[in-house]
A = this chain, B = another copy of it.
Amino acid sequence: MLQAKAPRATIQDVAALSGLSICTVSRALRNLPNVSVAAQTKVSDAAAKLGYKASPAASRLAGGSTGSIAIIAPTASAWFFAEAVEAAEEVFAGGGYDTVLISLRNRPSVHRKLFGDLAKLSQRVDGVLLLNIALSEAELADLAGSGLAVASVGMHGVPWDNVGIDNAAAARAATEHLLGLGHWDVAMLSGSETGEPSLITASERLRGFEQALDAQHLTVDPDLVLDAGSSIDGGRRAMIELIENRRMPSAILAGCDETAFGALMALRDLGLSAPRNVSIIGIDDHQMSCFLGLSTISQPVADQGAFAANLLIDRLHRSGLPNPPSSHVLETKLIERRSTRRRR
C-alpha cells in the first residue's frame, strides 16, 4: 500500500489545468466576487479532478485563514466539558475546521499564559470557543480586539455570541423546589468562586440560591454555604465538612450534579442517605443522575456546545459584516427524582 509520495497538487496545477491564472483560481476557490461563471466551473472541475486542497500553512501565511478553531475549557475531562467539546468538534469538523483543544486544567497559570499572549493564539486559529471561562475586564477587551472570532458557552453580557442557560434561575428553581417541599433550612455546596479564572457559573448559581431564600425572607446561614469545587471529591469533602463541623441541614442544593454525587457518597459512607436524612438536589442532569435517582435541573449540554459552535462558524463565514453579538439562553427543567422529598 505504500506508494510513492505523489507531490500534492498545488494551486499552480489547478491554474494550468483550467487554463486560468493562479489569481483567478484562488478567487474562484474562495467564492469571491468578480469571477465569471465560466471560470468558476472550469476551476472547480479542475480542482476536483486533481483532488486539490489548499495548504493551510500557505493560506495562513499569505493572510488567509488557518482553518482551525480553538476550544478553551477550564478542564477537558469533566462531564459537562467533555460533552460540549464533542458536540462542538462535530460542528467544526462539518464546517471544515480543525479543532484545537486547550484545557486550562483549572490552573490560573495556564489561564494567564494563554490570555497573556493572544497574538500567539490568533496566529494558530481563526476563532475561539470559550466554555465557561471567567475573564477579567482586560482579558475580555484584549480578546475582543484580537481579531479572533469569538463565541462562548455560559458567559453572559459578553461582546460576542453566547449561548447558555440562566444559572441563577436554575439554582432558584432548584431551591424553590426544596422550599416548596417544606425545607427552610437549606445548605449549598457551591462551586468555587474564588480567584479570577474560576468557573463563572458557580457564582451565578450561588446568587440564584440566595435569591430564592431572600424571596421567602429567609436568611442565608453562612455556615451552610461551602465551597465544594465542582468535582465528586470536592462534594464528598464538603459534605463531610458540613456534617462534622457545621450542622446537618434539612436539604442541600449542590452546585452541580457531580458535587451531589460526592455528597451522596459521603452520606452513604456515614451510614446516612438521601432523602431519608436530607434531601439533595443538583443542577445539570448528568448522565448518571437518572441512575442514582438524583433530583436535578436539567440543561442541554451538547446543544449548547453545538449551538455556540454554529454561531462561531457563521460569524467566521460572513466576517466583516458588523453582526451584533447575540445571546441565547436555553431552557432548563426541573427533574424530580428520588433524592428529594417533603419535609416530615
Instruction: Tell whether, in the assembled complex, residue A85 and residue B90 are in contact, meaning their CB atoms are under 8 Å apart.
Output: no
A75 — which chain B residues lie within 8 A by C-beta?
86
A83 — which chain B residues lie within 8 A by C-beta?
77
Across the interface, A101 reaches (CB within 8 A) one of B61, B89, B232, namely: B89
In the complex, per-residue mask of A45-60: 1 if CB is within 8 Å of any chain B CB, else 0: 0000001010111101
In the complex, per-residue mask of A78-100: 1 if CB is within 8 Å of any chain B CB, else 0: 01001101100110010000111
Given A76-B85, A123-B8: A90 and B61 within 8 A (CB)?
Answer: no
24 pairs, CB–CB < 8 Å, chain A vs chain B: A1-B137, A1-B142, A2-B145, A8-B123, A51-B117, A56-B57, A56-B123, A61-B61, A67-B124, A75-B86, A76-B82, A77-B85, A77-B86, A82-B82, A90-B105, A93-B103, A98-B100, A98-B102, A99-B101, A100-B101, A232-B288, A265-B290, A265-B291, A268-B291
A232 to B110: give the CA distance in the assembly, Å. Answer: 34
Q: Smallest CB–CB gap between A145 and chain B, Å? A: 4
A45 to B158: give the CA distance in the assembly, Å. Answer: 39
Whether A287 is near chain B, meaning CB under 8 Å from some CB there, is yes
Q: Smallest CB–CB gap between A41 and chain B, Å? A: 24
Instruction: Tell whether, in the assembled complex, residue A76 and residue B66 are in contact, meaning their CB atoms are under 8 Å apart.
Output: no
Q: Smallest CB–CB gap between A6 and chain B, Å? A: 8
Whether A307 is near chain B, meaning CB under 8 Å from some CB there, is no
Closest to A9 in B: B119
Whether A44 is near chain B, meaning CB under 8 Å from some CB there, is no
Across the interface, A55 reaches (CB within 8 A) one of B55, B71, B123, B288, namely: B123
Please list the residues of chain A having a beta carbon within 8 angstroms of any beta carbon in chain B. Answer: 1-2, 5, 8, 51, 53, 55-58, 60-61, 66-68, 71, 75-77, 79, 82-83, 85-86, 89-90, 93, 98-103, 105, 110, 117, 119-120, 123-124, 137-138, 141-142, 145, 147, 232, 261, 264-265, 268, 287-288, 290-291
Copies held by the complex: 2
Instruction: Tell whether, in the assembled complex, residue A56 and residue B124 are in contact, meaning their CB atoms are under 8 Å apart.
Output: yes
A93 — which chain B residues lie within 8 A by C-beta?
102-103, 110
Closest to A146 in B: B5
A92 to B225: give the CA distance in the assembly, Å. Answer: 38
